Structure 1
Amino acid sequence: MITNNWLHVLKDEVERQGMRRVAEKLGVSKATVSQVLNNKYKASTHVIQQRVEGVYMAFTVDCPILGDIAVNQCLEHQNRKFAATNHIRVALYKACRNGCPNSKLCGSK
């Protein structure tokens, strides 16, 4: 089934792979996936939507450091704590917090 509706994609993937596997791939709990599917999730579903779009729908963003990457990878880089383990990780940390148009961090440092 080809669709642009991320909720339909999420439902289809849960039916195909199971709740646990989908939750693991999205980096959220099974309860979160269940609540989203049953329209009982109290918080905004925007981040869940982006994760579904990145993992299952191949949506991408243009990262100023890495180029074209999946939306869910962008979110993962934004959530990482600072670690000077390599120059790319440092550059990603700085870019995510200093004006990247894809960042959800609102320029926090």
Structure 2
Amino acid sequence: MTTNNWLDVLKEETAKQGMRAVAEKLGVSKATVSQVVNDKYKASTHVIQQRVEGVFMAFTVDCPILGDIAVNQCLEHQNRKFAATNHVRVALYRACRNGCPHSKICGSK
């Protein structure tokens, strides 16, 4: 089955790999995957959608620092705490908070 619907892809991957494996790849809990798949998730599914699109559907964004990266990697960089461990990490932290069009951080635009 080939589909462009992220929820169908999530259900397909869960059937093939199991909820635990899919949850680990998405960086969420098994309970979250179960609730989304069974249409019982109460919160917004937007972040889950982006993770599915990045991990299983190869959706990408044009990062101003790294170039073409998977959507889920973009989300991971946005969620990192500041650490001046290297110049790229500092640049990513700043870009994610200062107008990057892909940023989901409140007040970044």
Q: TM-score range by the shorter chain?
A: over 0.9
RMSD over aligned CA atoms reads: 0.7
Partner of 1:93: 93
Q: Any runs of at least 4 consecutive aligned residues in structure 1 with deviations exceeding 4 A, and if so which? A: none
SS for the counterpart of 2:68 is: strand
SS for the counterpart of 2:43 is: coil
Q: Are 2:64 and 1:64 aligned?
A: yes
Q: Are 2:102 and 1:102 aligned?
A: yes
Q: Are 2:4 and 1:7 aligned?
A: no
TM-score, normalised relative to structure 1: 0.97
* Counterpart Cα distance in 1 of 2:42 and 2:106: 22
Gaps of 5+ in 1: none
Following superposition, the deviation at residue 107 of structure 1 comes to 3.1
Following superposition, the deviation at residue 2 of structure 1 comes to 1.1
* Counterpart Cα distance in 2 of 1:38 and 1:82: 36
Partner of 2:74: 74
> Which residue identity is paired with 2:71?
V
* Counterpart Cα distance in 1 of 2:24 and 2:106: 27
> For residues 52-93 of structure 1, what are the alpha-carbon distances to aligned partners after superposition, in whole Å with 9 as ceiling and x for unaligned?
000000000000000000000000000000000000000000
Partner of 2:47: 47
Count the aligned residue pairs: 108
TM-score, normalised relative to structure 2: 0.97
Q: Percent identity?
A: 87
